Amino acid sequence: MTAGAGGPVGIGVDVGTSGVRAVALDTTGSRVATAAEPLPAADKTAAGDVRQDPALWWQALLRTLRRLAAAADLSGRPCALCLDGTSATVLLAHRDGRPLGPALMYNDRSAVRAAAGVADAAPVSSPARGVGASLAKALHLLAQANADPQDLCVLHQADWLTGCLLGRFGDSDWNNALKLGFDPAAQRWPSWLAGLGLPAQTLPQVHAPGLALGSIAPSAAKASGLPADTLVCAGTTDSTAAVLATGATEPGDAVTSLGSTLVLKIIAERPVTASDYGVYSHRLGNQWLVGGASNSGGAVLRAHFDDAALARLSARIDPDVPSGLDYYPLPGVGERFPVQDPSLAPRLRPRPPDDVQFLHGLLEGIARIERDGYHLLTRLGAPAPSRVLSIGGGAGNSTWTAMRRRLLGVDVVPAAEQEAAAGVARLALAAL
């Protein structure tokens, strides 16, 4: 490809639960353009099924890319595209990409029987165990399929959309394939999968995230408005993309996501797995992203205060003074990390009459869970955090940041870039 006056452009697309967002970056990391389109909510049933028509993703992706292409002058500029999708969102498709039916979303809980079979076959440390993992969902879909398995392939959300752009299907990446059973350290599908009746030919070919897979298909280029020689790269998961966006690159760089739940990630030189705590590792080149997630987080705060109250009350808290309250804030019964206890009840008493003191205790309680989470990851073999980059809605709370800095004993700062789309745009740029 011949570079235009503007130089190469990396296009990153984040396919989330509520919409599709795209970011185009130049080689300095500056934004060339952004675009977004909403997605309708997935279909849910009382039995725990959460499904969505993949055609909705494709339509939203094309609308997003057309808006992005219209906002940026991409003519004559080398372009590459990489996208992320929600982890463990799975569908079955024919070899030509036609979905066999709706996709099972990341939070679908219908594959209970299949998950029991996986538990009997998979090592206890495997991230493919559990009703929410890709493997149980794939087996559940195959058991219901009225089609020849020889003509089918198991694909994640990012895999299928990448295939739509390429005009061919059957590719995945280390990060999405992890919960399907792929071993990223050995870079192969493990032998124990054979005992589950999962035909080998249904499994995708797995690549490093960001690897250039080929040029965009002519029909996809025309429908999206992208240049005909745009490179399409292997994708990744949404949570991994969010970490890539922050610029965390060195062992000890940690990323805390302060969203509805509390998610901890840290760059390590070797993988760490502890299935009892939901701890597993995504491969990033020759490094690993070790993580765990607590049930605590912003959902507990929002159960008591709205955004305006959180901002007003936080400003009145002295983050250098302990609250004197021993809270373990949870939205309901059960915790997974850093305490593995499905019967653990929220600890939110005594409730002081002063809302400032109550919020102080809540924020401090979540910060202690974050501290204990990183301590657990260190005991399991991950490095101790050298700095913590914060993302999510709570990252902008300066009082909470100071409180967390005191408890963690390392620098804690909001990440300058927090959009997952920017993380995969960086992968796309690297492919150029």
The per-residue pLDDT for 6 is 75
**If you ran DSSP here, which 8-state letter would residue 192 be given?**
G
Whether the CB-CB separation of 100 and 94 falls below 8 Å is answered with: yes
Q: Do the domains 248-415 and 9-239+421-431 match in fold?
A: yes
Give me the pLDDT at residue 111, please. Answer: 95
Pick from 420, 371, 413: nearest CA to 388: 413
Distance CA 293, CA 361 (A): 21
Q: What is the pLDDT of residue 189?
A: 97
Q: What is the average per-residue pLDDT within 186-207?
A: 94
How does pLDDT run across 73-131, given as a tens digit for each residue?
Answer: 898 899 999 999 999 999 999 999 999 999 999 999 999 999 999 999 999 999 999 99
DSSP state of 345: P
pLDDT of 197 = 87
The pLDDT of residue 150: 83
CATH topology of domain 9-239+421-431: Nucleotidyltransferase; domain 5 (3.30.420)
Q: 416 and 382 in contact (C-beta within 8 Å)? A: no
pLDDT at 2: 35
Q: Quick one: pLDDT at residue 5?
A: 53
Cis peptide before 227 (omega within 30 of 0): no
Tokens linked to 313: 């009350």
- pLDDT-derived band at 3 (thresholds 50, 70, 90) equals very low
Per-residue pLDDT tens over the stretch 309-327: 999 999 999 999 999 999 9
- The answer to whether the CB of 165 falls within 8 A of the CB of 232 is yes
Q: What is the pLDDT of residue 1?
A: 34
Mean predicted confidence (pLDDT) in 371-394 = 97
Contacts for 141 with CB less than 8 Å, ≥ 6 apart: 90, 91, 92, 100, 101, 104, 154
Handedness of CA 156, 252, 400, 423 (dihedral sign): negative
Average pLDDT of 223-252?
Answer: 96
Per-residue pLDDT at 46: 84
The arithmetic mean of pLDDT across residues 172-190, rounded, is 97
Query: E strands along 125-187, which residues?
Result: 152-156, 171-173
Give me the mean pLDDT over the 11-21 stretch.
Answer: 96
pLDDT for 276: 86
Q: How many angstroms separate the first and last alpha carbons of the chain?
A: 10
Q: What pLDDT, in 10s, does the model give residues 140-164?
A: 999 999 888 889 999 999 999 999 9
- Cβ neighbours of 27 (radius 10 Å): 12
CA 310 – CA 396 distance, rounded (Å)? 11
Q: State pTM to two decimals.
A: 0.92
Q: Domains of the chain: which residue ranges?
A: 9-239+421-431, 248-415
The arithmetic mean of pLDDT across residues 264-269, rounded, is 98
Residue 4: predicted pLDDT: 41
- Return the bridge partners of 91, or none: 155
The answer to whether 344 and 335 are in contact (CB under 8 A) is: yes
Any residues with CB less than 8 A from the CB of 279 and at least 6 apart, and which? 272, 273, 290, 291, 292, 337, 376, 377, 380
Residue 100, beta-bridge partner list:
none
User: What is the band of 186 on the pLDDT scale with cuts at 50, 70, 90?
Assistant: very high
Domain 248-415 grouped into CATH 3.40.640.10: no
The whole-number average pLDDT for the span 319-347 is: 96
For residue 286, give the DSSP letter.
T
